[in-house]
Amino acid sequence: MRVIIQRVSSASVTIDGKQINQMGEGLLLLLGIKRNDTEKEVEYLVNKCINLRIFDDKKGMMNQSLLDLFKKPECMVVSNFTLFGDTRKGRRPSFVLAAPANRAEELYNTFIGEMKKNKITVHSGTFGSHMDISLVNNGPVTLIIDTDNISD
């Protein structure tokens, strides 16, 4: 599983010219699901995303997490299979590492459910749709977490 985390002042999702979701300050999470991912990776990433200290404290240091800073923490989760695009050969990316759509959607929904269990207000896109994502990256702060790089 791979997530691109962006600290945002605002974010929105538009499909076919109609805005379906929007949020203020919080995190935008672009979530890619790999072929062999399981609920274990979901649990790890949810915990990491909500507790990662990437928001400024009163001294301007990145020392607070989404849970620390906000009374009503918000995030937007958008599925993005292209995070597993392999561009090493040729000019067209290969997506063989990405999970099949049915499994990816299941884990995507599990991820959202786990975020909600942690009292996060979750906004999302529509799985499998072509979406326009608008955001104001605050900082800018953008991080990538890949569960292939974690150690037990």
Choosing from 38, 82, 87, 121, which is the catalytic residue?
82
The first and second tokens of residue 109, run together, are 């929904």
* DSSP 3-state of 106: helix
b/e per residue 85-114 (b: at least 16 CB within 10 A): eeeeeeeeeeeebbbeeebbeebbebbbeb
Cβ neighbours, 10 Å, residue 60: 7
Contact status, residue 110 vs residue 79, Cβ threshold 8 Å: no
142 is catalytic: no
Query: Which residues are identified as catalytic?
Result: 82
